[in-house]
A and B are shown apart, each in its own frame.
Chain A
Amino acid sequence: MSLTFDSARMPNPHMREEHEAWRTQLRRFVDTEIMPYAEQWDEDGHIPIELWPKAAEVGLLGLGYPEAFGGISEGIDSWHNWITNEELARIGVGGIPASLMVHGIGLPPVINWGSEAMKQAVAPSVIAGEKHIALGITEPGGGSDVANLSTTAERDGDHFIVNGSKTYITGGMRANWVSTAVRTGGEGPGGVSMLLIPTDAEGFSRTALDRKQGWWASDTATLYFDNVRVPVENLIGEENKGFLVIMTNFNGERMAMASGMEAMARVCLEEAVAWAQERKTFGKRLADHQVIRHKIAQMKQKLNATQAYVRACYESIESGTPNPGDIAMLKVQASETVEFCAREAMQILGGIGYMRGSRVERIYREVRVNAIGGGSEEIMRDLASRQYGI
């Protein structure tokens, strides 16, 4: 047995036949519709718009959303999600899942807290891959300290007038709507609301952030709101209760990121092992040098720990008792694991790993966005400490 992406995945007793069927079909989809072009899309800095309807057709975009909006939720559980995150991370171009699946952070606020009319207006077209939605929390003035955001939405009759800006917004260039965190009340978390802002509104503008360390295929943007009038009906949830919407959104985002990172780390292992078994130095295979064997064993050790931790967190979600502190620390566990594995795989590959065109080279550049976005490592530890009542 060798260590491949699949064989390095520990068995999970929760996986049933239909889960494996989904993995098989999704992998076929990825290997045919994405893999052959992934590297080029990354170099091009965007993915073709036609990918969304195709992803919708196989059920990727609708996963977990109500049937009434064209989604598929009956019988769907965390294990389908885990497989999806894994298989998309396996592409080894992080900007693709980030951008393709960004509705995974933009849409849940609408689905969970939006009015029926809002859901009807937004969800079906997003799930069909015809329109796009992003999540706008982070501002040029700061991302970690969400409670102190400064984009304002002032009431004017049956409208809000929005002023301010958001930055590092994934899917921001393409978005038709942005689920946006705004200040409607006083200081602190109690003055924050979520507002659905259509990007064709007057006073809205955006610029691309297209020079990044990684995630090139993703259309990151800075968004500007200059006296943008948004109807009051576009409030997502209650006025000044937006902080709760934001916080409940984070568990799903962090699970997706953590399980994706574990899979990226596993890609690093797969590439490193394949190379170590081929490449000869000093008269023997790299894999026969003890230093290299130990690197590989240690990568696997960290992967095992992360997999088990991912599974434990998904189990807690399945049983309806997720612990945000544990999920926050899982995100750190996963970013440290992918950081370690990307480093060690790069060392094993040597010069070839530094050349563009390999999954390890890309993943190496995508470690940091995972360690910072969706809640940085520092903020995750801080959150967990509070949760644990230290």
Chain B
Amino acid sequence: MKVLVAVKRVVDYNVKVRAKADGSDVDLNNVKMSINPFCEIAVEEAVRLKEAGTATEVIAVSIGDKACQEQIRTALALGADRGIQVETEGSVEPLVVAKLLKGVVEKEQPQLVILGKQSIDGDNNQTGQMLGALTNMPQGTFASEIAVDGDKLSVTREVDGGLQTLSLNMPAIVTSDLRLNEPRYASLPNIMKAKKKPLDVYSPADLGVEVTTHLTQVSVEPPAERQAGIKVESVDELVDKLKNEAKVI
């Protein structure tokens, strides 16, 4: 069974992002970039399937400029077998990403595609679902547990009321939630080995996709600064403030 995992290059979760002075975007100058944490979980799950003997090959795909090869290498260091970069410029919308991924799915014919449920930069939470619609494959989003049984995939999903279990026919699409697993550390030997693993580069045209835009980013503003706290004199005052100012009780 072939597993395709999508990985995205995003601002590292430790970085305090700032808006550019002109409000056009987030300032990415000299900012540490990493693999999206949910994508890392997706890679880990795929690698575990391979270690369990369920998967035979794990392919990591990323869409972006040359720099995203760094994140593909991270996926390779975590245990993916080979990488694919679809070379694009600038930011690419979820729909275009989904179309490009569909192109890769058609080329590679994986039995299972695992994506992060969302990326921590755009927080769109759309790509996996759109890919499901475009490929007409069943999807199990927000997965906290998956199990392969023949050509069926059982997906436990974190939903509002608790856990929901779905049985999907493969090929299928899964998006990972935080609790799906805890990704391992890529060891130094594996980082070094990853340098030698194959990495193919495609253009959107190779996949028959035209990169278009449907969305315009109007402005980016920093969140309001947190106000300093105050000391209240009595419990009554606290209750009053919680009720009437914060309106939380």
Contact = CB atoms under 8 A, between A and B. Distances in A.
A75 B192 contact: yes
Contact of B73 (A17, A74, A80): A17
Interface in A15-38: 17-18, 20-22, 24-25, 28-29
A76 B188 CA distance: 9
B73 A21 contact: yes
A203 B77 CA distance: 47
A29 B191 CA distance: 14
A17 B70 contact: yes
A74 B188 contact: no
Contacts of A25: 77, 185-188, 191
Given A24-B34, A75-B195, A60 B188 contact: yes
Interface in B182-208: 185-192, 194-195
A18 B187 CA distance: 11
A21 B189 contact: no
B185 A18 contact: no
Interface residues of A, number: 21
Contacts of A21: 70, 73-74, 77, 186, 191, 194
Contacts of A145: none
Q: Which of B74, B77, B189, B190 gathers most chain A CB within 10 Å?
A: B189
Interface residues of B, number: 16
A161 B126 CA distance: 74
A178 to B, nearest CB: 27
B189 A62 contact: yes
A308 interface: no
Contacts of B194: 18, 21
Interface string B18-53: 000000000000001010000000000000000000
Nearest to A56: B187
A145 to B, nearest CB: 38
Contacts of A72: 188-189, 192
A18 B189 contact: no
A181 to B, nearest CB: 31
Contacts of B188: 22, 25, 58-60, 62-63, 72, 76, 80
Contacts of B185: 25, 28-29, 57-58
A299 B69 CA distance: 37
Contacts of A18: 73, 191-192, 194-195
A72 B193 CA distance: 10
B70 A59 contact: no
Given A17-B70, A17-B73, A22 B189 contact: no
Nearest to A71: B189
A21 B74 CA distance: 7
A300 B194 CA distance: 36
Contacts of A29: 185
Given A17-B70, A21-B74, A24-B34, A74 B192 contact: yes
Contacts of B34: 24
Interface in B62-81: 70, 73-74, 77
B12 to A, nearest CB: 8
A4 to B, nearest CB: 11
A344 to B, nearest CB: 26
B28 to A, nearest CB: 14
A59 B188 CA distance: 5
A59 B34 CA distance: 20
A295 B194 CA distance: 44
Contacts of B73: 17-18, 21
A29 B186 CA distance: 9
B191 A57 contact: no
Interface string B165-185: 000000000000000000001
9 contacts: A21-B186, A21-B191, A57-B187, A59-B188, A59-B190, A72-B189, A75-B192, A75-B195, A76-B192
Interface of B: 32, 34, 70, 73-74, 77, 185-192, 194-195
Given A20-B70, A62-B188, 20 more contacts: A18-B73, A18-B191, A18-B194, A21-B73, A22-B188, A24-B74, A25-B77, A25-B191, A28-B185, A29-B185, A57-B187, A58-B185, A59-B187, A59-B189, A59-B190, A60-B188, A63-B188, A72-B188, A72-B189, A74-B192
- CB-CB nearest 6 A-B residue pairs: A59-B188, A59-B187, A72-B189, A25-B186, A58-B185, A21-B191
Interface of A: 6, 17-18, 20-22, 24-25, 28-29, 57-60, 62-63, 72, 74-76, 80
